[in-house]
Amino acid sequence: MYGFVWNHEVRRLFSQRAMRVVWVVAMIGGLGAFVSFVDPDHHLHQPHRILVDTDVDTDDVFALFYLLKQDRTQFHLQGITINANGWSDAGHAINHVYDILFMMDRDDIPVGVGGEGGILANGTILPNVGGYQPIIDQEMSTAGECRYRQAIPVARRGRLDVNSNYGLRKAFLPQGSRRYTPLQQPTAQEVMKDAISSGPTTVFLLGAHTNFAIFLMSNPDLKKNVKHIYVMGGSVRSNCPKNDSSDNSGECPNIGNLYPQDSNPYAEFNIFSDPFAAYKVFHSGIPVTLVPLDATNTIPLSRSFFTEFERRQDTYEAKYCFQALKIIRDTWLSDVFHEQYCMWDSFLVGVALSIMRNSSNGENEFAEMQYINISVVTSNEPYGISDGSNPLITGNSMPKFKVDKNGVHSGHVQMGMQDRFCLQKGKGKCQDGYTKEDTGEDAVRVLAAMKAKSNHENGSSLQKEFYKSFLRVINSPEKTGRFDIRKQYLFHREVLHKPDFGKKMSGKPVVFDMDMSAGDFLALLYLLKLPVEQINLKGILICSTGWATSATIDVVYDILHMMGRDDIPVGLGKAFAVGQANPAFSAIGDCKYSKAIPHGSGGYLDSDTLYGLARDLPRSPRRYTAENSVKFGASRDTDHPELRQPSALDVWKSIVDSLDAGSKITLLMNGPLTNLAEIILSENASSMIQVNNVKMPRPNDDTVYLCLLMQGVYIVGGHIAYVNDNGKGNLFTVPSNEYAEFNMFLDPLAAKEVFTSSLDITLVPLQMQRRVSSFSSILNRMNLTALTPEALFVQRLLSRLWQLEQEHYRYHHMDIFLGEILGAVVLAANPHLNQTFRLKPLKVLADGDITNIGEIIIDKEQGKQVLVLENVNPQAYYDHFARVLGDHRQSAVLGSFHEQERMWNSPAAKTNICCLHLDELIQTDQYMEKHLIVNLADLV
């Protein structure tokens, strides 16, 4: 196909200019250009150039392998771009794709993610828009609404499982040298532009259409290079038999696949994630072939296919895919996995490649095709009524992108999954994202797959033709993965580390609650370095409502592994701030507060990859897992129920149960107060309580009970408003809210719960954190300290944050994270720091207007007496921090991933670390009981 453009170009020149120009062009263009001029059929021998845009869900991974295993002389993958507002989060998705490409020996394929550009109010699209927001909500920041994306579960069976491939990714995939690096990562738009501008390209869309629509809108001149678009998405007719509808509207209900469906039973996820983008793509004039739910519903992951797949796992990629499928099945909520889980994106790729092979009229081996006329519903009637829901109209002097004020884009736009407009009885539901059959002038003709073709072989257990192809391709010995983690390292083994503190007395029991912002990792390393006689870190609670997504828990496991502390339990907290989960379906929810966190640079993208440095940490055998057991409320036991991921509450309870007589827990909160509020509320459950192994009746006030267990709570965060020298808060993405601090704002109701409890609170407020957030001071001091592996890591992270802060405005807030170390240091109470405190009556504003939610005010009548840090000596603080990190005691046992690689490459790795193979460990009965919650130490 490459030749076609040249051919065209040459003809134009030939007709316009003298013959010698042709020769010049032919020489510039190389021999190929000239050959194509004399041989019009030459292009048939060129590979099809393909660009894939994917949201890296599990079925996308299957699709990628299916594509990567094709003959490269026939199908050439030019680039992969990541859809950042779909089923995965950008930082996890990008590294997942890099791992897959490394494994398949395809480090040559460019991968694009994100971008920091925006769209101006007048509709001007700046370069490199990151695609974190649907086009209609895209403004100048990467923070923003979750209007459509809230349909996707955030944690289990949603983004958490997809980000980690159910916990399998780190267990299976090898790791190459490519990775996300801040400000160096190619953006989605750059990769699209490079691929498409260099020749005729076929585009596969496996997620929402945001990236590609933005590309088409901002590069109209390159549209001619897009040969064809293949889309998995939408739902046209559904599989409802005619005249068999269960509601009175005469329509077939539940055409789409969102859940719950009460507000919009028509839409399919990929189109719903950005209906306006899909409209732009379908109506671009480029030929589209669609594989909607109509077709994918006819190719479910049937029992017999599953059984056959289980039998045929000849390649590592087949194993990876099958294990993922198996855990998806085992954790499926209902018993109808085999009917509900379909071949979506891999089927699209199968159909597309087959059509491209046959090269003409849509004929293919796998699906029955039909031309239909459709349009994408982007807003519901009544059109032209401005009700505040439509950002193309509302708040702009002229409608954005020049949309017609009374046209198809100007009606009500669905606001969320509980939009009242969509739920009114008798008024019809919302149809946003519906690929509706349409005969009007706005319709476009697309070739659509309507049904998967049956297998023509007699007696095969695989009923569909594509089942056969998929298993053949994925198991094909050609172009199989170059590496798996065990082949990459001849002596790969997973061992757990446990410290040997000898007879040292254990110090103050501390539980650390972190939202995995950069400063929390610095604080964690510091806590691990404090002498165990002084601070005994008993457990870590992960707060999932702050600056990183839940799957980043793996970075915490890696830090603990590096420091030889696989004995410390880590529990994963709830995905939503108090009151934000959907009351009808708690796996999804709103982002009223979390939308203040940027998705791109300086936000989730960086936290989830720890600013590109997380891959330098050794890989822990502990990692997030979707494994589960009936005992803990799951539908069924998975293969390794003992590996179940503990929740924050599990870890809390197990620590409480194991407390020595007379000792009390000190809690350090470094993120939003979600987990602590849950702990307070959960103590309502039973009438008997246990304190220091003694059972006793519950006191009337729950928090009184907690006071028996807890020495006190240190809270890092909060800004006390309206005090003269305190300045403003730090909510830079919500400029109307001048005085709040992020940790309070991100879960205000949790903060209110904590600030009305009877717990002893010590507050380390923003104003004090600011006093110790000088990058130059701390780095100067770090330069003088001994370079333990942990000091080196801290130094690299701090230098990177500082450098980014200076280099790009998206990183202007990096000092927020530096200030977060202070809580841990204050808790350790080093006498040289001259810490002073004062009691103040404080109240958190939790309800009411967004402009003051999260503020802390002094309230003499209703405020709670809180001990507030009033002074600290910054120089002594930097000194102390650097000295602790440079101490050779309690230092890393495995300094880096490189060191781990060396260990995995040598036969009898020296080890004075106490260790045990994970495989052996899993086989022990005690492990079944105690898994990884607390007492791993007992086993080792």
- 55, 89, 432, 805: which one binds Ca ion (CB under 5 A): 55
- Tell me: does residue 747 bind Ca ion (CB under 5 A): no
Q: Which helix (H) or strand (E) holds 227?
A: strand 226-232
Nearest to 188 by CA among 170, 168, 203: 203
| 487 Cβ neighbours under 8 A, 6+ residues apart | 174, 316
Are 774 and 874 in contact by the 8 Å Cβ rule? The answer is yes
Q: Measured from the CB atom, is 301 or 915 closer to Ca ion? A: 301
Residue 517 lies near Ca ion (rule: CB under 5 A): yes
CA dist 469 → 70, 140, 480 (Å): 12, 45, 16
Q: Which of 26, 143, 206, 321 binds Ca ion (CB under 5 A)?
A: 206
Q: Which is nearer to Ca ion, 118 or 671 (CB)?
A: 671
- H/E run at residue 48: strand 48-54
Taking the complex as a whole, how short is the minimal distance between the CB of residue 540 and Ca ion, in angstroms? 12
CA nearest to 821, candidates 521, 511, 515, 513: 521
**C-alpha–C-alpha distance, residues 861 and 854, integer Å:** 19
Q: Restricting to residues 659-678, which ones interact with Ca ion according to CB under 5 A?
A: 670-671
By CB under 5 A, the residues from 400 to 459 that bind Ca ion are: none
Q: What is the DSSP letter of 493?
A: -
**Beta-carbon neighbour count of residue 834 at 10 Å?**
11
Question: Is 10 or 613 the residue whose CB approaches Ca ion more closely?
Answer: 613
Residue 274 interacts with Ca ion (CB under 5 A)?
A: no
57 binds Ca ion (CB under 5 A): yes
Residue number with CB closer to Ca ion (480 or 609):
609
Nearer to Ca ion, 134 or 207 (CB): 207
- Number of residues in contact with Ca ion, rule: CB under 5 A? 11
d(CA 65, CA 480): 9
* Residues comprising the chain, all counted: 940
Residue nearest to Ca ion (CB): 517
> How many other C-beta atoms lie within 10 A of the C-beta of residue 813?
16
CB of 410 to Ca ion, least distance (A): 30
Q: How far apart are CA 310 and CA 313, in angstroms?
A: 7
Q: Considering only CA atoms, which of 245, 281, 280 is closest in space to residue 265?
A: 245
Cα Rg of the chain, angstroms = 29
Q: Is 898 exposed, middle or buried (0-12, 13-18, 19+ CB in 10 A)?
A: exposed
Residue 23 CB partners (closer than 8 Å, separation 6+): none
Q: Which stretch binds Ca ion (CB under 5 A): 202-210, 419-427, 553-561, 874-882?
A: 202-210
Strand stretches in 804-892, DSSP E:
836-844, 856-858, 864-871
Helix (H, G, I), strand (E, B) or coil at 654: helix
Q: Looking at 38-46, 328-336, 507-515, 802-810, which segment touches Ca ion (CB under 5 A)? A: 507-515
Pull the structure tokens for residue 117: 């550009």
Asked if 515 touches Ca ion (CB under 5 A), the answer is yes
CB of 742 to Ca ion, least distance (A): 8
User: Which residue in this structure is represented by tokens 């709830």?
Assistant: 574
Write down the least CB distance from residue 715 to Ca ion, Å.
Answer: 11
Find residue 716's DSSP bridge partners: 764
Using rule CB under 5 A, residue 520 touches Ca ion? yes
Q: What is the number of other CB atoms lying within 10 angstroms of the CB of residue 427?
A: 9
Peptide bond into 789 cis (omega under 30): no
- Closer by beta carbon to Ca ion, 276 or else 742: 742
User: Which residues in the 303-342 window bind Ca ion by CB under 5 A?
Assistant: none
- Shortest Å, Cβ 519 to Ca ion: 6
Pick one of 3, 58, 60, 608: the residue that binds Ca ion (CB under 5 A): 60
Q: How far is the CB of 520 from Ca ion (least distance, A)?
A: 4
> In this complex, which beta carbon is closest to Ca ion, that of residue 514 or of residue 706?
514
Residue number, 543 or 934, with CB nearest to Ca ion: 543
Question: Which among 59-67, 215-223, 692-700, 758-766 is the span making contact with Ca ion, rule CB under 5 A?
Answer: 59-67
Q: Which residue lies nearer to Ca ion by CB, 517 or 549?
A: 517
Please report how close the Cβ of residue 126 comes to Ca ion at its closest, in angstroms: 27
Q: Which is nearer to Ca ion, 671 or 854 (CB)?
A: 671
Q: Which stretch binds Ca ion (CB under 5 A): 200-208, 421-429, 800-808, 831-839?
A: 200-208
207 binds Ca ion (CB under 5 A): yes
Nearer to Ca ion, 330 or 520 (CB): 520
CB of 677 to Ca ion, least distance (A): 16
Binding positions for Ca ion, rule: CB under 5 A: 55, 57, 60, 206-207, 345, 515, 517, 520, 670-671
